[in-house]
Structure 1
């Protein structure tokens, strides 16, 4: 199943990457588990601070959500900025906004290391209902008035400037957002990390983690001593630390990439990434070679559809009936780790740092989280504490009932989409 789910457009167009052979040195300052955006950015930032770092990846760099996602760079968190202030007060909202809206660490890393990952600017959230559009207008006004953050309200009559679809009732365009080739970004981070001195070990699954002084990490073949550990395994975090696995449930999500389209620029004239306002949303964008990369539908079973392209095509055809029969060259999927609050779960337990549960909104925040972990590990935890203070509660139901109970709740929200 894993190979079929990873049969993506990204894997087919990935940069060359071969990690250096592991030299067998099994002691370091920092051991990182997970070769996605969070682990790679944390490893790189730790190495830049002078720590010796080893990163372990059970499969290959970008194997999980970091190498399979829709490539959408959406500033902020799953909650609107106004919701954050209402829940947490003015000062915490200010701190969260500065980190998650203003501080674009992905663009900074791409620029610093010259990462070739097809970076483009612009993100459009489309309103599925008139009520959704009214909420977007209120939020855009709030962002402008409260934070001086510029976004553009797009009326229904002007949507053709961005998207050739009649479905939507307007939208909000954020020029600070964008899209990219996520796997090539991950590989670019890996190359930068190696250049900074990080030792990257692929195909080495971590089987145990013990916070002593020094602590110990166990793999199938070795034990590793380290002063600090960073668990960045996201959907797989329960395999390393079962208690943390209680805070997320996996949702399976699927993407397709069409063949290159002659009318690609007509479909999305502004070349912005697009996501709609539904709970079970559609999201899509153009690749550098003019394919439509489209994500649609969710499944709460871990078993993927037998034909991923056939599963996603109806969602694409609903948005773009003019390409309903377009050839589809790639279909792939993977798990998104979702928390109860839909905010990331970030924290520290002794000398073990962790970050997971980005809830489908992690392409920007994961790089930030990794860098904040490095800051905290080096002794400056103020910005780390802003994210670590977000509310987190485990899903109820224990090992066997947690996922079925969470699925019932998710299905209710999906039903609300259909009922309008």
Structure 2
């Protein structure tokens, strides 16, 4: 079974609010026959489109192969949060790699945010980019850790855009009874993720990249010239970039052993009108401290976009609305009867350490994936870093590739059952408040 075709209609975006809201692009050409390129990119999400744009601007002949439509996967379905730092916090990075290296990763993360914002401005991408992401906690320990971390970023990383939130300040932003405080980051941001992906695709195409849709890659043959085989044709290229993330499947065993696909779900309520102020009083995004994170924000037409719940394996649950309504009502009990207009799922890639996995898996094949829910910035930056590496400027790529990325236990047939067992345990801890 293939995740690319397990839950969606071939060549169509899921029925999400993002797809209903975005200004569509005309379909790109499908692919049949044989062609050649300097670089062939497998995957038309943030990673692949960013790599294509930057390579085309450097003068390379680039082909992007997307199995469905550009932005079809996690790039067009996610929570739209452009977070600060890496997915692993700076304390964890300091423990893992030392303070000097942790500071390099903080700088890279700041560069990733700036890159996204600069691309939106440069290419006039209308994706409703807005500043502000709050991280909110439940109990005293959660809240204290978030507040202390905000102070650490201020003191140790000279980051002035973040500040601690006490309970009153938290409630003034998000009137949910569930939260007791946390931190507010005005340097982070949120956006309409599919609109951003479509804007990147348009920019890459305008720069000269050849984007081909409905081009499912099922085999890659290494060599001085790499052969990328699709259902109806093949591409021969000097370099290949693997940019499929959670949808990459088993195209490369080294990546498959280290990047696990998991499914996450979002709903969009009916427009809330004046009642939107009972959810958020400012146009910010929120993520909380649950292991299976709740994340939410208001759309520009005053809907609540609420993400919550995960599943492991190939199939989405039959009733996504019910799966997400439960955590949504734990945060906002007054919305128990609100109408849900859209409910959708998507597949992302995670790693054991929740840091992206960048690797040179063959002399002329680069891969980036496993953004672990932090992909709006990481993925766009990874595409640029791989483009630079192909161009001979590989210092940024090598820094990201230096992250230790162990294989999942039972990297073959047992990895999904083992992951399910581990994730279920942490989800149980969430429920019982451990």
* Same-fold call, TM cutoff 0.5: yes
Match of 1:317 among 312, 315, 329: 329
Q: Does 1:360 pair with 2:370?
A: no
In structure 1, what is the equivalent of residue 258 of structure 2? 247
In structure 1, what is the equivalent of residue 40 of structure 2? 31
Match of 2:392 among 379, 388, 410: 379
Kept in 1: contact 2:30–2:213 (CA 8 A): no
Distance 2:260 2:96 in 1: 24
In structure 1, what is the equivalent of residue 146 of structure 2? 136
Alignment of 1:114-129 (within 5 A): 114-129=124-139
Alignment of 1:246-325 (within 5 A): 246-262=257-273, 263-325=275-337
Kept in 2: contact 1:127–1:277 (CA 8 A): yes
In structure 2, what is the equivalent of residue 394 of structure 1? 407
Q: Does 1:160 pair with 2:171?
A: yes
Distance 1:168 1:157 in 2: 10
Q: Cα offset for 1:42?
A: 0.6
Q: Does 1:95 pair with 2:104?
A: yes
Secondary structure (helix, strand or coil) at the match of 2:375 reads coil
Q: Does 1:75 pair with 2:84?
A: yes
User: Could you state the TM-score of these two structures normalised by the residue count of structure 1?
Assistant: 0.96
In structure 1, what is the equivalent of residue 3 of structure 2? none
Match of 1:222 among 233, 237, 248: 233
Q: Does 1:204 pair with 2:210?
A: no
Kept in 2: contact 1:5–1:333 (CA 8 A): no
Kept in 1: contact 2:51–2:384 (CA 8 A): yes
Distance 2:13 2:89 in 1: 31
In structure 1, what is the equivalent of residue 4 of structure 2? none
Q: Cα offset for 1:293?
A: 0.3
Distance 1:306 1:86 in 2: 41
Q: Cα offset for 1:21?
A: 3.5
Kept in 2: contact 1:162–1:271 (CA 8 A): no
Secondary structure (helix, strand or coil) at the match of 1:281 reads coil
In structure 2, what is the equivalent of residue 2 of structure 1? 8
In structure 2, what is the equivalent of residue 149 of structure 1? 159
Q: Which moved more, 1:160-169 or 1:198-207?
A: 160-169
Structure 1's unaligned 5+ residue stretches are none
Secondary structure (helix, strand or coil) at the match of 2:417 reads helix
Distance 2:379 2:318 in 1: 31
In structure 2, what is the equivalent of residue 48 of structure 1? 57
Distance 2:149 2:171 in 1: 22
Q: Cα offset for 1:11?
A: 1.1
Secondary structure (helix, strand or coil) at the match of 2:248 reads helix
Cα deviation code 1:93-150 (max 9, x no counterpart):
1211101134421111101100001111100000122101111122111111111102
Kept in 1: contact 2:112–2:377 (CA 8 A): no
Cα deviation code 1:311-358 (max 9, x no counterpart):
211211111122221111000001121111111111112100101111
Alignment of 1:342-361 (within 5 A): 342-349=354-361, 350-361=363-374
In structure 2, what is the equivalent of residue 181 of structure 1? 192
Secondary structure (helix, strand or coil) at the match of 1:135 reads helix
Distance 1:155 1:398 in 2: 43
Q: Cα offset for 1:160?
A: 2.3
User: Could you state the TM-score of these two structures normalised by the residue count of structure 2?
Assistant: 0.93
Distance 1:360 1:90 in 2: 24
Q: Which moved more, 1:207-216 or 1:56-65?
A: 207-216
Q: Which moved more, 1:364-373 or 1:316-325?
A: 316-325
Cα deviation code 1:264-286 (max 9, x no counterpart):
13421121100101111111001
Kept in 1: contact 2:133–2:188 (CA 8 A): yes
Q: Which moved more, 1:21-30 or 1:358-367?
A: 21-30
Cα deviation code 1:164-211 (max 9, x no counterpart):
101111011100111111011000000000000000000011121122
Match of 1:107 among 101, 108, 117: 117
Q: Cα offset for 1:52?
A: 0.6
Question: Paired residues, what number?
Answer: 420
Kept in 2: contact 1:271–1:286 (CA 8 A): yes
RMSD: 1.6
Instruction: Sort the Cα spacing of 1:5 and 1:318 in 2 relative to 1 into closer, same or farther, 3 A.
Output: farther
Instruction: Sort the Cα spacing of 1:14 and 1:103 in 2 relative to 1 into closer, same or farther, 3 A.
Output: closer
Q: Cα offset for 1:20?
A: 4.6
Q: Cα offset for 1:305?
A: 2.1
Kept in 2: contact 1:40–1:370 (CA 8 A): yes
Distance 2:369 2:245 in 1: 4
